[in-house]
Amino acid sequence: MSQTKLLSRRTALKSLAALAIAAIPAPFLAPSIAHAADTIRVLAASYPALLAARTALEGVDNFECSLLTDAQMGCPHDYAMTPQERMKLESADVLILSGKGYEAFLDARLLAGLKGLVIDAGKNVPPLEKGKALSSHNHAHAHGDTNPHHFANPACFALMVETIAKELSERFPEASQKLAANAKAFGEKASLLENELVSLSRDRGGDTHLILQHDTLSWFFAGTAFPVDAILQEGDAQSPSAALLLSLAQTMKKSGNSHLLVGDKQFPTDVLDLLAKESGGTIVLLDTLVSGPVDACASHYLATMEANVAALHKALGK
């Protein structure tokens, strides 16, 4: 083959290769090609952290939020990362944690080795001691003596958003004005919602006692006047036995109090159904946002919590 024909053939092959690369969708390309050079990749370690990050970053240019874990997984107490997730973790510019030990699968040594900025969104949230759960005697919880589900409380979630906004502003001052405005706006809305819940509890807390399906709900009702008579399940412990539930039902009936059986939508309702049947209590289901749609927008958290409060109003006849 002549040198001229060989060069022509090589030129044609290069052109075909270029066309093939251009046809590949961006998500399948290497990070240096798929992401714009000025895009800041923010990775949330859990679903609540994703919602907090999107709330803080609403309308802020050049930030891209994604989730490390599966959005429908629920609480990641004993999660083990895949090799692909570990690569995603190591390439992130910013990693955001819900904190308080919620993402226990990310230990301190691993976090210390990351090149990106690590933000513990829950670090300014005061701790909530665990309540006594019916099923806790068989369970060694991974988070010590505090409850790590602070994101289920609107006021605490506002603190998470504020922490994210402040720490991102320090690293990326060009975005500080919009970040601060987002945190302030959300904090004001969360305060109004929290006041509504507290007011409802003061109106009905004297004659309505709560039975909580899971300790995620302890945070939702923290600071309210609702008496909590029992928590059925703590962390990833097994549900209480039928014998324990029947004993609790007898105690509830003897007390003479009206009881609201508050369920968390992430769990089946079998336990609540049995307890309601035996005690006469009323069931209401709330969403604590341990999971949800991965493409949820910045308003998803507040809309969900407003729906929770509306469900309580309906269940209490208020």
In a domain, 73, yes or no: yes
CA dist., res. 39 & res. 61, Å (int): 9
Say yes or no: 49 and 179 in one domain: yes
pLDDT over 90 for what percent of the chain? 74
DSSP state of 120: E
Report the range of poorest mean pLDDT among 14-23, 32-41, 117-126.
14-23
The pLDDT of residue 144 is 57
In a domain, 95, yes or no: yes
- Choice between 129 and 142, residue whose per-residue pLDDT is larger: 129
User: What tokens appear for 161 in the block?
Assistant: 């958003």
The CATH number given to whatever domain includes residue 44 is 3.40.50.1980
CA dist., res. 306 & res. 308, Å (int): 5
Strand, coil or helix: 263: strand
Say yes or no: 183 and 38 in one domain: yes
Hey, what amino acid is at 216? T
Say yes or no: 59 and 104 in one domain: yes
Domain that holds residue 273: 205-286
CA dist., res. 114 & res. 89, Å (int): 8
pLDDT band at 76 (very low <50, low <70, confident <90, very high): confident
Q: Is the pLDDT of residue 216 over 90?
A: yes
Say yes or no: 162 and 227 in one domain: no
pTM here is: 0.84
Express each pLDDT in 169-212 by its tens digit. 999 999 999 999 999 999 999 999 999 999 999 998 778 999 99
In a domain, 20, yes or no: no
In a domain, 65, yes or no: yes
Say yes or no: 234 and 99 in one domain: no
Say yes or no: 169 and 237 in one domain: no
Say yes or no: 112 and 216 in one domain: no
Give how far the C-alpha of residue 91 lies from the chain's centroid of Cα atoms, to the nearest Å: 22
CA dist., res. 175 & res. 304, Å (int): 27
Say yes or no: 213 and 104 in one domain: no
| H-helix or E-strand spanning residue 258 | strand 258-264
Pairing state between β 258-264 and 208-212: parallel
The count of domains in the chain is: 2
